[in-house]
């Protein structure tokens, strides 16, 4: 047993993560079902476009949520922050292109404050992230509802380029989303910040004993999450021409982003996973949405099926991780 045990295993197995198989399977099943029972062509460009479009809003914030979850935290305030951003942006812009920079400055500042607050509550005050971020979210909602009851202001037409423009055949939001994913993936893989995120999420004590200032890493991750929520809010404002106080919560971006991250293979306890899995998770959700629509399945049935899929995905991970570790 000696030499065999001690010899290095050079197997950095380059496996395709299971989530991409799941995505492919979901897509194929959807394709089959729709061509059999549904109306319309599932693989028509317009339909594929539709899938990606539906993914964008959730995708942006889910990428950010991945950061929070990787450090072993999570963020329930994103839905409220999305509402705040959309409303504040369109309220400040008032359809005037010259006010766009001011609006951006304000919403990103709000995002920064919310992210740092979440991070401080989780690290310095040692409040459970579930409670801390929910509390922050409720505060945001209260402040927002006290000031706005309906669509407030509007964004200028030029700002809507963000949601509706296209470069060649490719829609602008798709490009921006791809860029965001690439930056996020590289940050996690190629930067010191990314390495520390995995370290802190993997074992906070070990990270601390290695000299990593883990509190700062957690706070940084929360700021990233909040910033992506701001981006989602801006995207939605651009799409809807105006922001309303309910758009974030109506989209259930808090729970859905967490679900997408977990379905994408990131471990809820932190330290393992990545944004590419999250993107696959988001695409699975969108594919299912489109499929259900084309099959004419009612929205309540839809929710039941989604719930089942989330549970099934996580069960598969639990089973596989037992296999690997055990």
Partner 1 sequence: MTFGEPARPATQPTPAAAARRLRDSTATEDGATALAMRAIVKRFGAFTALDGVDFSCRVGEVHALVGENGAGKSTLMKVLTGAYQADGGEIELFGQRVSFGHPLDAQRAGISVIHQEFNLLPHRTVAQNIFLGREPHHFGILDERLLRQRVLQLLADLHVDHFLDPSTLVGELSVAQQQMVEIAKAMSFEARVVVMDEPTAALAAPEVEVLFGLIRKLTERGVTVVYISHRFREIFAIADRVTVLKDGVLVGTREREGLTSGELVRMMVGRDLADYYPERAKPEEIGDEVIAVRSGSNDVLHDIDMHVRAGEVLGVAGLQGAGRTELAQALFGVKPFTSGEVWLNGKQVHFRSPRDAVRRRMGFITEDRKSEGLALRQPIRDNVVLSFRAMQPLLARLGRDGSHGHPSVAELTRSVDVRAAGLYQEAQFLSGGNQQKVVLAKWLATAEDVLIFDEPTRGIDVNGKAAIHRLIREAAREGMAVLMISSELLEVIGMSDRIIVMREGTIAGELEAGASEAEIMALATHGLDPLEPEARAAAVPDEAVAVKPGARP
- Contacts with partner 1 by CB under 8 A lie at 1-3, 5-12, 190-196, 198-199, 202-203, 205-207, 209-212, 271-272, 325
Query: Of 198 and 285, which CB lies nearer to partner 1 in the complex structure?
Result: 198
Smallest distance from the beta carbon of 11 to partner 1, in angstroms?
Answer: 8
Q: How far is CA 19 from the centre of its chain?
A: 16
Question: CA distances (Å), 234 to each of 96, 175, 288, in order?
Answer: 15, 15, 25
Map residue 167 onto helix, strand or coil: strand
Smallest distance from the beta carbon of 300 to partner 1, in angstroms?
Answer: 35
The pair phi, psi for residue 148, each rounded to 5°, is -130, 135
Query: Of 2 and 36, which CB lies nearer to partner 1 in the complex structure?
Result: 2
Q: For residues 65 and 62, what is the distance between their CA atoms, to the nearest angstrom?
A: 5
Query: Of 7 and 167, which CB lies nearer to partner 1 in the complex structure?
Result: 7
Give 183's contacts (C-beta < 8 A, 6+ positions apart).
Answer: none
Query: Of 184 and 282, which CB lies nearer to partner 1 in the complex structure?
Result: 184
Query: Of 2 and 46, which CB lies nearer to partner 1 in the complex structure?
Result: 2
The count of other CB atoms within 10 Å of the CB of residue 119 is: 28
Structural tokens at position 53? 């479009």
Smallest distance from the beta carbon of 5 to partner 1, in angstroms?
Answer: 5
Smallest distance from the beta carbon of 8 to partner 1, in angstroms?
Answer: 4
Q: How far is CA 253 from the centre of its chain?
A: 8
Q: For residues 295 and 314, what is the distance between their CA atoms, to the nearest angstrom?
A: 26
Smallest distance from the beta carbon of 133 to partner 1, in angstroms?
Answer: 25
């Amino acid at each position: 047993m000696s030499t065999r045990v001690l010899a290095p295993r050079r197997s950095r197995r380059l496996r395709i993560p299971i989530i991409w198989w799941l995505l492919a399977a979901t897509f194929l099943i959807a394709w089959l079902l729709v061509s059999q029972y549904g109306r319309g062509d599932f693989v028509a460009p317009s339909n594929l476009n539709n899938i990606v479009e539906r993914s964008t809003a959730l995708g942006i914030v889910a990428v950010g949520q991945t950061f929070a979850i990787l450090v072993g935290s999570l963020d329930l305030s994103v839905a409220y922050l999305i509402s705040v951003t959309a409303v504040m942006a369109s309220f400040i812009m008032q359809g005037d292109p010259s006010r766009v920079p001011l609006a951006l400055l304000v919403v990103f500042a709000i995002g920064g404050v919310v992210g740092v607050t979440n991070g401080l509550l989780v690290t310095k005050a040692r409040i459970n992230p579930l409670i801390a971020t929910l509390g922050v979210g409720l505060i945001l909602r209260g402040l927002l509802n006290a000031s706005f009851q309906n669509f407030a202001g509007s964004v200028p037409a030029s700002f809507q380029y963000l949601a509706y423009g296209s470069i060649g055949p490719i829609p602008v939001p798709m490009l921006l989303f791809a860029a965001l994913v690439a930056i996020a993936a590289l940050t996690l893989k190629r930067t010191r910040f990314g390495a520390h995120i995995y370290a802190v999420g993997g074992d906070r004590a070990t990270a601390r004993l290695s000299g990593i200032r883990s509190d700062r890493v957690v706070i940084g991750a929360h700021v990233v999450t909040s910033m992506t929520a701001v981006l989602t809010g801006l995207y939605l404002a651009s799409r809807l021409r105006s922001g309303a106080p309910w758009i974030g919560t109506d989209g259930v971006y808090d729970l859905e982003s967490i679900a997408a991250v977990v379905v994408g293979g990131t471990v809820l306890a932190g330290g393992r996973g990545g944004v590419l899995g999250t993107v696959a998770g988001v695409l699975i959700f969108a594919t299912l949405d489109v499929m259900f629509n084309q099959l004419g399945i009612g929205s309540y049935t839809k929710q039941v099926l989604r719930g089942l899929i989330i549970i099934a995905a996580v069960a598969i991970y639990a089973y596989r991780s037992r296999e690997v570790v055990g």
